[in-house]
A = this chain, B = another copy of it.
Amino acid sequence: MPESQRVTICVDAAGGDRAPDEILAGVELGLSRDPGLAVILTGPDEVVVPAAEASVNCAARPTTQSIPMDADPVSAVRSMKDSSIVVGCQLVRSGEADAFFTAGSTGAWMAASTLHIGRIPGIKRPAIATVIPTAGPPVVLLDAGANADCRPEYLVQFAHMGSAYARIVVGVDEPRVALLNIGEEPTKGSLLTREAHALMEADVPGFVGNVEGRDIPAGVADVIVTDGFTGNVALKLLEGMSRSIFREVKGVLTSSAATRLAALAVRPGLRELAGRLDPDTYGGAPLLGVDGLSFVGHGSSGRRAVASALRVCAHAVRSDLLLRVRQGTAER
C-alpha cells in the first residue's frame, strides 16, 4: 500500500461545531502531508468552491442542504437529498470517492451511510469502530454507539469486523479479541454477554474471553467488543475523564510560583502525554459493515483531528479495509 496510491476522500465541509474553517484547515493540512491524496468537498457553494480553487488536489461538489445536528437522522437523510452528508455517501457508492468523512451529526451519518451506501450482504448491523489510545498499542473498541440494543449474534459480527480493522490500524496479524463484561468468568455478565461469550468462543479467531472496564486502557486486547450503549458510555467517559484529569494537573502546575517554574520542565512531556491519550489522535471512526468506507469524527474536531482522520481514511483505502471486512464476515 504505497503512499503514492491515489486516494480520493470526500469531506463534508459543513459538518461539525467548527465547520467550515477548521475542517478546511484540516483538509489543507492532510493534503500537504500526503501527495497521493485528493479531496472532494461537499457543502455550500460559497464555502467549497473558493476552498477548492485555493488548493491543489481539491475539488468542490456544492450542495444546497445542511442537516441540523438536532434533526431526526432518518427522516432528514430521506428528505434532504442534496445535503453534504447524503451526497458524500453517494459519491462513495458511485465510486467517485474512495471514502467519506464528516464531523457532523453521527445519527445522520449512520443513516446516510446505511441508506445510501448500503450494508455488506450478510451483515446484520453496522457498528462504529473507535480506536482508543492506551499506554501501549491502541485498542479497537466497537460498537461505539450505532446499536443501543444488541443481540448476541451482532457482537460476533462486530468481533470479525473489528478484527479486520485492527489488522490495519493496530498493525497486528492476529488480533486478540475480547468481550467487554463485568467479570472474567464466562458465566458472568448480562444475558447478552453470557450468550455472546459462548458464540464468540466457538466462532471468533483470537478470542481471549472477557475483559472488564479497567482493562480498556490497559491494552490487554487489540479488539474489545461490546454493545453500542456500553461502548458509547465507555468512549465518552474516557474522553471526559482524560480531559478532566489533565485540566486538574494543569491546575496543580499553575498553583504557585514554584510549581510554575517546575512546569517549564515537565510541561512538554505532559503535553505529549495528553496529546497521545487524546481521542483526536485517531480523528475518524468507520461505520464497519456498510459496503463502502465512511468515517465520522468528533463534533468538536479541529484541524488536527481532521488531518488525522484523513490519514486514517487514506490508510484504510490503501490497505483495502473494505475487502478485509467483507472477507472476514463472508462465510459467517
The answer to whether B134 and A244 touch across the interface, beta carbons within 8 angstroms, is yes
**Complex Cα spacing A299 to B185, Å:** 17
**Complex Cα spacing A237 to B259, Å:** 30
From known contacts A248-B135, A252-B269, A262-B266, infer whether A182 and B239 are also in contact, taking CB-CB under 8 Å: no
* Stretch of A27-35, A58-66, A96-104, A212-220 that contacts chain B: A212-220
The answer to whether A236 and B255 touch across the interface, beta carbons within 8 angstroms, is no
Q: Tell yes or no: A2 within 8 A of B by CB.
A: no
Q: Tell yes or no: A242 within 8 A of B by CB.
A: yes
- What B residues does A244 contact at CB under 8 A? 134-135, 217-218
The answer to whether B265 and A240 touch across the interface, beta carbons within 8 angstroms, is no
Which of B135, B236, B269 meets A259, CB within 8 Å? B269
Q: Tell yes or no: A53 within 8 A of B by CB.
A: no
Which of B70, B135, B145, B241 meets A217, CB within 8 Å? B241
From known contacts A263-B262, A277-B245, infer whether A213 and B240 are also in contact, taking CB-CB under 8 Å: yes
Could you say which of A217, A233, A244, A272 has the most chain B C-beta atoms within 10 Å of its C-beta?
Answer: A233
Tell me the chain A residues, 232-261 only, with Cβ under 8 Å from chain B: 232-249, 252-253, 255-256, 258-259, 261
Question: Hey, which bits of chain A sit against chain B, CB under 8 A?
Answer: 70, 134-135, 145, 148-149, 180, 182, 185, 189-191, 193, 212-218, 226, 228-230, 232-249, 252-253, 255-256, 258-259, 261-266, 269-270, 272-273, 277
**Complex Cα spacing A256 to B236, Å:** 33
From known contacts A216-B240, A240-B217, A273-B248, infer whether A233 and B266 are also in contact, taking CB-CB under 8 Å: no
Which of B148, B237, B252, B258 meets A234, CB within 8 Å? B237
Give the oligomeric copy count.
2
The answer to whether B213 and A236 touch across the interface, beta carbons within 8 angstroms, is yes
- What B residues does A239 contact at CB under 8 A? 213-214
**Complex Cα spacing A253 to B256, Å:** 18
Q: Distance in Å from the Cβ of A263 to the closest Cβ of chain B? A: 7
The answer to whether A270 and B242 touch across the interface, beta carbons within 8 angstroms, is no
Q: Distance in Å from the Cβ of A328 to the closest Cβ of chain B? A: 26
**Complex Cα spacing A226 to B244, Å:** 22
The answer to whether B182 and A233 touch across the interface, beta carbons within 8 angstroms, is yes
Which of B213, B247, B277 meets A135, CB within 8 Å? B247
Which of B233, B245, B270 meets A180, CB within 8 Å? B233
Given A217-B244, A252-B269, 9 additional A-B pairs, CB 8 A: A70-B185, A193-B229, A216-B241, A230-B233, A237-B241, A249-B249, A252-B272, A255-B269, A263-B266
Q: Distance in Å from the Cβ of A247 to the closest Cβ of chain B? A: 7
- What B residues does A241 contact at CB under 8 A? 216-217, 237-238, 241-242, 245
Chain B residue at minimum C-beta to C-beta distance from A246:
B245
